[in-house]
């Protein structure tokens, strides 16, 4: 699903993104509610990036990656931790691309997410290639999502990948 976000694009950068687990739902500009084999997932586009809410019989999980004023947790390259009965894994990377590379990659990602039944993308009016996109799926007992945050003024594309799944017992 593709939507035009009804907000002004603020001149932020990849370095302004922060990561948080367990935050309450923040005001969203667009949402997509999904049922993924027993898991209820809400993808949320915020004015300042994204939030994912996951509910399952084992509990709930909330991930926020956004420009959060006063946040003390910058965007990490990776996180692996236990959240209730789940293992939570998060990874992020920042790519800096030339103007031409950036435009091509932005078009590819928007097409991928827009055409996917579990995808949500929001573009900012009047700013070519400024977007936030999200894609969720369930695979082998885990819920996974990927996100992309585009900063065309800097040629930066932030990609995140998250997996939440039941902790597997250690093999003997």
pLDDT digits (tens, 9 = 90+) for 37-86: 989 999 999 977 899 999 988 788 999 999 877 766 778 999 999 888 88
Angle CA 92–96–99, to nearest 5: 140
Quick one: what percent of the chain has pLDDT higher than 90? Answer: 65
pLDDT digits (tens, 9 = 90+) for 141-169: 899 999 999 999 999 999 999 999 976 65
Give the mean model confidence (pLDDT) for residues 99-128.
93
Query: What integer best gives the mean pLDDT of the chain?
Result: 89
Spatial separation of the C-alpha atoms in residues 95 and 145, rounded to whole Å: 19
Which pLDDT does position 13 carry in this prediction? 80
Other beta carbons less than 10 A from residue 32's beta carbon: 20
Spatial separation of the C-alpha atoms in residues 78 and 82, rounded to whole Å: 14
Task: For the chain, give percent helix, strand, coil, nearest 5.
Answer: 10, 55, 35
**Residues in Cβ contact with 90 at an 8 Å cutoff, skipping those fewer than 6 apart:** 19, 63, 76, 78, 79, 80, 160, 161, 162
Which pLDDT does position 172 carry in this prediction? 47
Give the mean model confidence (pLDDT) for residues 89-108.
95
Query: Which pTM value belongs to this model?
Result: 0.91
């Amino acid at each position: 699903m593709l939507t035009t976000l009804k907000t002004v694009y603020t001149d932020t950068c990849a370095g302004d993104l922060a990561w948080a687990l367990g935050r309450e739902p923040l005001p969203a500009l667009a949402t997509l509610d999904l049922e993924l084999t027993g898991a209820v997932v809400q993808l949320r586009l915020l004015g300042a990036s994204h939030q994912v809410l996951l509910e399952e019989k084992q509990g709930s999980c909330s991930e926020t990656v956004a420009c959060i004023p006063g946040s003390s947790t910058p965007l990490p390259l990776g996180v692996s931790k236990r959240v209730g009965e789940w293992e939570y894994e998060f990874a992020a990377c920042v790519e800096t691309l030339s103007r031409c590379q950036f435009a091509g990659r932005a078009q590819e990602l928007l097409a991928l997410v827009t055409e996917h039944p579990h995808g949500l993308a929001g573009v900012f009016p009047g700013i070519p290639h400024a977007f936030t996109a999200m894609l969720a799926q369930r695979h082998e007992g885990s819920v996974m999502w990927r996100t992309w945050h585009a900063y065309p003024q800097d040629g930066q594309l932030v990609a995140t990948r998250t997996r939440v799944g039941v902790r597997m017992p250690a093999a003997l």
